[in-house]
Amino acid sequence: MIQQTCFWWVDAPAPKSYRNKPLPEKADVVVIGGGFTGTSAALRLAKGGAKVTLLEAETVGWGASSRNGGQALSCLHHTLTELIEQHGLERAREMFRASVRAADTVARIVTEEGINCDYVRNGNIEAASKPRHFDRLKVEQETLARLADYETRLVPPEKVATELGTDSYHGLLVNERSAGLQPAKFVQGMALAADRAGAEVHEGTRVTGIEKNATHNGSRFIVRTERGIVSAKEVLLAANAWVGGIVPQFRRRVFPAESYVIATEPLSDDLAHKLIPHRRVVYDTKNMVAYYTFSRENRMVWGGEGTAAGLSAKRNIEILRRGMLRVFPELSEAAIDYFWGGTLGLTMDQTAHAGQVDGMWYSMCYVGHGVTLATYLGEQMANAILGLESFNPFDGLNIPRVPFYQGRAWFVNFGKTWYRLLDMFS
């Protein structure tokens, strides 16, 4: 029987509880959100000497930070070629360099804090779903080498079997700097590290509003929660998809989208080695991207495809399983043990955003690259709050308003239907 719960939660040790602690009256910094962004920021702030309080409405990592595909990628959703078209060469190059630093940041934190999260830096594969997609991968490889001094490796169609045990793809691009990890263990590990460093972590503490008040206890903000108020000199918004429910400025600019994942029963070592011999994390080039990897115990963890909110669990499982078998028919007898979903925060430009609004700091909307980018930008925002050097090329970007959006993201499934059509005909 398929368990409709996140496999990563079951696989992780019982987490420490941060519930029912008295709220402090005052903090130097209040961080709102206990995912990758918030825990990374709280860790850096606490180590930098700030009195920091992290407020999480549910439990640490409850959202996308513990429900994702476990891919710690050294790249962005948009290719460098696309970024140059959108932002110009210099900004695009800095954005890409930030993604490389983000992957290195995760590796450093795992090592420094001794986080046992099944971290393996074996690289990632971008798999060409159509022949012309491989032509695009060739262009991207050349662009990365020439403009970012970043080396990747092309695998031609006839050599795909050296990296993936399938004949479904038309060539690959291998990026050796990416990694895989167990996301629930990683976010829990960062929260524990922040706690050790002196951060106040509070679960079950939903923020209901933020007020500016320059005279209250010498603080600039009053953060109201369902459990009381905390006054703070600085506020960091790390609530991602839910930020619009707290700060009106983002209500028509940030919207939620669901992604769903299945995990099979554990596979044999021989079969796992045949399918992904170097145990890299993988995603394809479709608009309705499929992403997949192996867990520590050889479960195939497969997500994305054409899944959608509003469909039944049975239908979404069928979509994911069909996509998996199209690539790896050898898994036709493998049982599906787990099915779950997670909520991403997105903007219309499908780009990360981090900066300040109305005196508050924010970082959000990582478009499927949050394991690395959220961790990195949480740390960079903390550096900026502490008055230290920070590297954040996502500051100052306009966040487009979503036409006719009033809190129900009806257009997400419409957009997925459009992308499925593009995948069929482009």
For residue range 280-336, list pLDDT tens digits in order.
999 999 988 999 999 999 999 999 988 888 889 999 999 999 999 999 999 999 999
3-state secondary structure of 238: coil
3-state secondary structure of 174: strand
Confidence of residue 263 (pLDDT cuts 50, 70, 90): very high
Answer whether 362's CB lies under 8 Å from 356's CB. yes
Largest CA distance in the chain: 69
Nearest-angstrom CA–CA distance, 246 and 244? 5
Q: What's the whole-number mean pLDDT along residues 12-32? A: 95
Q: What is the mean pLDDT of the chain?
A: 93
Q: What's the whole-number mean pLDDT along residues 388-400? A: 95
Confidence of residue 420 (pLDDT cuts 50, 70, 90): low
Answer whether 293's CB lies under 8 Å from 69's CB. yes
For residue range 116-165, list pLDDT tens digits in order.
999 999 999 999 999 999 999 999 999 999 999 999 999 999 999 999 99
Would you state the pLDDT for residue 221?
Answer: 94
Q: C-alpha angle 372/373/379, rounded to 5°? A: 95
Tokens of 19: 């519930």
pTM of the model: 0.95
**Distance between start and end Cα atoms, the chain:** 38
Phi first, then psi, for residue 323 (nearest 5°) are -65, -40
Would you state the pLDDT for residue 311?
Answer: 87
Q: Above 80 in pLDDT, residue 404?
A: no
Domain 7-420 in CATH 3.50.50.60: yes
Q: Above 90 in pLDDT, residue 407?
A: no
Confidence of residue 209 (pLDDT cuts 50, 70, 90): very high
Confidence of residue 422 (pLDDT cuts 50, 70, 90): low
Answer whether 69's CB lies under 8 Å from 280's CB. no
Q: Above 70 in pLDDT, residue 170?
A: yes
3-state secondary structure of 290: strand
Nearest-angstrom CA–CA distance, 174 and 163? 9
Q: Above 70 in pLDDT, residue 215?
A: no
- Least Cα distance to 33 among 220, 202, 254, 258 occurs for 202
- Pick the range with the lowest mean pLDDT from 40-49, 241-250, 257-266, 365-374: 241-250
Bridge partner list, 281: 124
Confidence of residue 360 (pLDDT cuts 50, 70, 90): very high
Would you state the pLDDT for residue 256?
Answer: 86
Percent of the chain with pLDDT strictly greater than 90 = 84
3-state secondary structure of 52: strand
Nearest-angstrom CA–CA distance, 345 and 377? 15
Confidence of residue 424 (pLDDT cuts 50, 70, 90): low
